[in-house]
Amino acid sequence: DSYDYNIFRTMKRLPLLFALLTFYPVGRAFSSDITWLRPGARANAMGSAFSTVEGDAYSVFYNPADLTTLGNVEAHFETGRRLSPAAREGEASIAYIRPQPDNANRTVGFGYYAVRRGGDLSADSAVFSMGDRTVIKYFQQPLFYGAGVRLVNLRSPERSNFGLGFDAGLQLGSDTGLKTALVLTDAVFGLGRSLTTLTLGNSYRSGNTLFLADLRTRGAYSELFFGAEHTLFNGLAQARAGKGISLDGGRYMALGLGVNALPWIIDLAWSLPWKGYNASAGYYGFTIGRRFGGRTFSDMLAGDAARQVETNKTELAELRAQRAALESSITAYRVNKSVMETDLTLMNGRIREMETTIKDLELRTLEAQYKNENPQPAKRYVPAPPVRWPKLHKTAPGETLRSIASKYYGNPNLWERIYEANEKSVSRGLPVEGAVFTIPAPPPSGK
């Protein structure tokens, strides 16, 4: 038993050991590399854990698979500054999204990101991506997938390198609010170094709060980024927080605020350095964008309000129905007592009736047995006496020859036979009132 218990304890610790081994290489290898930076005020406010975020144009930089969640033309611009102990850095970016007209699930996007640091180091990247979706029959969930081409130019006082590569990503959701993404970015050739980054992202939505975590691996090093977003005022605003991207060892907590005054979208991001407000660390920036052809916030608010009103009406009707059902149940409960007493009396009476019925059945059984043993002789068939013709009929007011024929012959068309036998008692085609007609025999059935 003790051996089995030790095995059980070891198996319980395996997930924890696996998690520790997974995140063990997390370090600061990229803390001074501007190629590790990512654009977007919203994304940076959420710690750049953005691989599973849907409905944002800046997914063109993080996961091209999420482009399929965008259904309108959008254009966004971002600018910001980053502080570090070594040097300051400025950046700007644009993102343009356009759904494919002939395919409702396919969306293309373009992004450009420029970074300038201390006047001697700069990086420019352009991305052309496309996202689409399909359904996996086994999971019965949509699978988002996307890919794109990436152009990168790194410049320093010593040299300038231009590279060409690609991005690719997948995302799979679930009914529980959990989403998982696998993204390969910066697979660029020609820079003299490898920037290929593999990202494993997860997010979970609980009510109005979204929790995110991205594990990025480049070479032998990994780093975990995490963040959260809480929706306020029916989607008008979002409050955000996350672990910021460290630059030259400057660590900070990223914060942000988003305003979705559709068709305009505004995102702000700022930082709280862990070493104090005077520390040179953090990201400060904003993004402004416009969504073309979509519903405005007032339209969405009116629609949500109308749906909420209908929901409230439905709930009120259900509550009223429940109250009526409870009142009926109470009334029925009160009546049941007297009904049960009456039923008991009736059951006693039925018992007595059944006893009488049993006696009658026994008597009938004995009679049936006697009849079977002593059958009665069959009755002789006596034909009915023939009908005597002619018959006499005294006419009444309102009668006609046809009605008399119908009465005696069952056929009004035989009126001529009655007319020929009683022609003297017919005046103007009608029988004389009170006359006694002689009704002759009907014609043979064959005529």
Write down the pLDDT at residue 414: 87
- Which pair of structure tokens corresponds to residue 366? 């004995």
pLDDT-derived band at 244 (thresholds 50, 70, 90) equals confident
Write down the pLDDT at residue 192: 84
Residue 339 main-chain phi, psi, to 5 deg: -65, -40
Mean pLDDT for the stretch of residues 299-324: 82
Write down the pLDDT at residue 442: 87
Name the helix (H) or strand (E) containing 371: helix 297-373
Write down the pLDDT at residue 42: 96
Write down the pLDDT at residue 303: 65
Sign of CA dihedral 29, 32, 36, 39: positive
Write down the pLDDT at residue 301: 66
Write down the pLDDT at residue 23: 42
pLDDT-derived band at 298 (thresholds 50, 70, 90) equals low
- Nearest-10 Cα torsion for 291, 166, 82, 264: 0
pLDDT-derived band at 80 (thresholds 50, 70, 90) equals very high
Write down the pLDDT at residue 242: 94
Report pTM.
Answer: 0.63
Q: Which residue has the higher pLDDT, 281 or 93?
A: 93
225-237 pLDDT, tens digit each: 999 999 998 888 9
Mean pLDDT for the stretch of residues 256-277: 90
Q: What is the three-state SS of 94-126?
A: EEEEEECCCCCCCEEEEEEEEEEECCCEEEEEE
Cα–Cα distances (Å) from 193 to 37, 116, 196, 409, in that order, read 16, 20, 9, 119
pLDDT-derived band at 429 (thresholds 50, 70, 90) equals confident
- Which pair of structure tokens corresponds to residue 205? 């939505």
Closest CA to 89 of 151, 157, 32, 161: 32
Sign of CA dihedral 223, 76, 52, 105: negative
Tell me: pLDDT of 5 over 70.
no
316-375 pLDDT, tens digit each: 989 999 999 998 889 888 888 888 888 888 899 889 989 999 988 888 888 888 888 887
pLDDT-derived band at 28 (thresholds 50, 70, 90) equals very low
Mean pLDDT for the stretch of residues 41-45: 95
Q: For residues 87 and 382, what is the distance between their CA atoms, to the nearest angstrom?
A: 133
Tell me: pLDDT of 206 over 60.
yes
Tell me: pLDDT of 13 over 50.
no
Q: Which residue has the higher pLDDT, 334 or 271?
A: 271
Tell me: pLDDT of 281 over 60.
yes
107-143 pLDDT, tens digit each: 999 999 999 987 678 999 999 999 999 988 877 889 9
Q: Which residue has the higher pLDDT, 171 or 380?
A: 171
431-442 pLDDT, tens digit each: 888 888 888 988
Write down the pLDDT at residue 117: 86
Q: Which CATH topology does 391-439 take?
A: Membrane-bound Lytic Murein Transglycosylase D; Chain A (3.10.350)
**Strand bridging mode 282-292 / 264-273:** antiparallel
Write down the pLDDT at residue 204: 95
When mean pLDDT is compared across 18-22, 173-177, 327-331, the lowest value belongs to 18-22
- Which pair of structure tokens corresponds to residue 151? 């152009």
**Contact at 8 Å (CB) between 40 and 60?**
no
Write down the pLDDT at residue 238: 95
Q: For residues 199 and 244, what is the distance between their CA atoms, to the nearest angstrom?
A: 16
Question: What is the C-alpha end-to-end distance of the chain, expressed in Å?
Answer: 110
Tell me: pLDDT of 49 over 70.
yes
134-151 pLDDT, tens digit each: 988 877 889 999 999 999
Q: For residues 91 and 318, what is the distance between their CA atoms, to the nearest angstrom?
A: 56
Closest CA to 67 of 142, 131, 136: 131
Mean pLDDT for the stretch of residues 60-86: 93
Cα–Cα distances (Å) from 92 to 150, 250, 268, 347, in that order, read 17, 21, 14, 91
Beta strand segments in 244-390, E: 252-259, 264-273, 282-292
**Contact at 8 Å (CB) between 75 and 56?**
no
Write down the pLDDT at residue 246: 80
Q: What percent of the chain has pLDDT over 90?
A: 42
**Strand bridging mode 141-155 / 73-83:** unpaired
Q: Which CATH topology does 27-294 take?
A: Porin (2.40.160)
